[in-house]
Amino acid sequence: CRQVAVKVMMEDIETDPDTRTRFYREAKIAGQLMHNHIVTVFDLGEEDGRPYIVMELLRGSTLGDYLSHPAAVPLETKLELMIQVCEGLAVAHARHIFHRDIKPSNLFVQTDGSLKILDFGIARLASSTMTANGLVVGTPHFMSPEQARGVEVDARSDIFSAGAVFYFMLAGQRPFAAPSLPAAMHRVQFDAPSPVPSGIVPAALERLIMKTLAKDRAMRHQTILDLRDELVAFRRSFDVETRRLAQSVADRCRAFDAVCADVQAARIEAGLDAPGVSPEIGAARQRLAVLEVDSAGALLVVPFKRDELNGLIPVLTLEHQVALARLLAWQGALDAVRMARDTLVSEGPHLALLLFDAAVRAAPESGAFQAERERCVAAVRKLDVVDAHVGADGCAGRDVRGSGGAAGNG
């Protein structure tokens, strides 16, 4: 058996003939539309005089709730949802059915990421006379200017409403926000949409959405498929730019890896383990590894998100700078240790100790450097004790501290 949802008319309004008619009309119209992006109606009936609709059970949330989740929805996902809205409406428009109430609460995002259009309750067949001219139906914040005026509408009214929803998805605000419904209806008919906050929407996509919101329907996209095709074309160009950005991030990762390899070699020479990297860099390495193998088709395998890549750049930049600073410190420490070893043999422990001190200051975590320094300190103390005893014998001390070779020859 399959699980279904049952929509029942509320008891206190089921006696209203207009509401009852609308309820049945929703079921009949939705029943004609079979598509992945339109909710499926299985049955229509009446129980004890109470109408009901049996439809598929959806799991997820309305678009409005989906967009309000704490985790930000990336632009790529929003574009896919927009395209799905257009594809669902295209099926209805092909049957000369106009939804007339496209809004976030009538769009349902399922847990698998697919979208369903809900509630054809005020939808109208092009040939129907059930809705009289002059009657305003719909939701003011998302309805078209012609719908707000109560005149005859066509598919371009749904295009306007879809554009208003897309604006809301991108900008996080309604295009014709107003303190009251009458004010909203006035803005829909006469005012330009509120400006999109700067920097959050690519200019090409903003122009596309603004076209859907033209007051003159002749200036909008003329079919929902025209709008769908423009969204697909934008997504294609956006993906190309994302590939370039992903390649740039991969190049940054390689440069960072090269510095890390040098740091690792220095630490190993100092007797330490290789340094770790941040979880973000570790995850980025795994995802970007595919670019090393097949940079041309990498995005077909790993769908990078623009926000994800842009977020990696400052992290990589900071980690790269930190790694470079570490490398310089380790190289300085290693140079000091190597010079100290040579000086210990050629000049004795006193000068060598100064270099060992410099190495330990540059790399205090190296136990190996600390151990070499301690051996040098012990040598200095031992030599100082010998010098003290020799100095007690008078001038012989000068002979011993002067030139070991000369003393031996005397």
Closest CA to 202 of 255, 165, 162, 242: 242
- pLDDT of res. 265: 87
pLDDT tens by residue, 177-228: 888 888 989 999 999 998 888 888 999 999 999 999 999 999 999 999 999 9
- pLDDT of res. 137: 52
Strand partners, 55: 5, 41
93 alpha-carbon distance from chain centroid:
34
CB 366 within 8 A of CB 333: yes
What does the alpha-carbon distance between residue 116 and residue 36 come to, in Å, rounded to a whole number? 7
Which residues lie closer than 8 Å to 239 by C-beta, 6 or more apart? 299
Q: What pTM was computed for the model?
A: 0.73
Q: Which residues of the chain have pLDDT under 50?
A: 126-136, 299-301, 396-410
Phi, psi of 50 (to 5 degrees): -110, 115
CB 304 within 8 A of CB 369: no
Q: Which residues of 251-276 are buried (b: 16+ CB within 10 A; e: fewer)?
A: ebbeebeebbeebbebbeebebeeee
Locate tokens 């992903």: which residue?
246
- pLDDT of res. 405: 36
CA-CA distances (angstroms) from residue 380 to 101, 352, 363, 366, 385?
90, 9, 22, 21, 9
What does the alpha-carbon distance between residue 378 and residue 20 come to, in Å, rounded to a whole number? 100
- pLDDT of res. 171: 93
Give the number of other Cβ atoms within 10 Å of residue 181's Cβ. 11
CA-CA distances (angstroms) from residue 144 to 32, 117, 186, 254?
25, 18, 11, 52
- pLDDT of res. 44: 77
- pLDDT of res. 397: 46
What does the alpha-carbon distance between residue 153 and residue 138 come to, in Å, rounded to a whole number? 12
What single DSSP character describes residue 270? T
Q: Which residues of 34-62 are buried (b: 16+ CB within 10 A; e: fewer)?
A: ebebbbbbeebeeeeeebbbbbeebebeb
User: Catalytic residue at 229?
Assistant: no
Q: Which of 12, 65, 101, 384 is catalytic?
A: 101
Helices and strands in the chain, H and E counts: 15, 8
What does the alpha-carbon distance between residue 259 and residue 208 come to, in Å, rounded to a whole number? 44
Q: Which residues of 80-104 are buried (b: 16+ CB within 10 A; e: fewer)?
A: ebbbbbbbbbbbbbeeebbbbbbbb
What does the alpha-carbon distance between residue 50 and residue 169 come to, in Å, rounded to a whole number? 37
pLDDT tens by residue, 212-270: 999 999 999 999 999 999 999 999 999 888 888 888 888 888 888 888 888 888 888 88
- pLDDT of res. 308: 80
60-62 sheet: strands from edge to edge = 60-62, 107-110, 115-117
What does the alpha-carbon distance between residue 125 and residue 300 come to, in Å, rounded to a whole number? 41
Tokens read off for 280:
């973000």
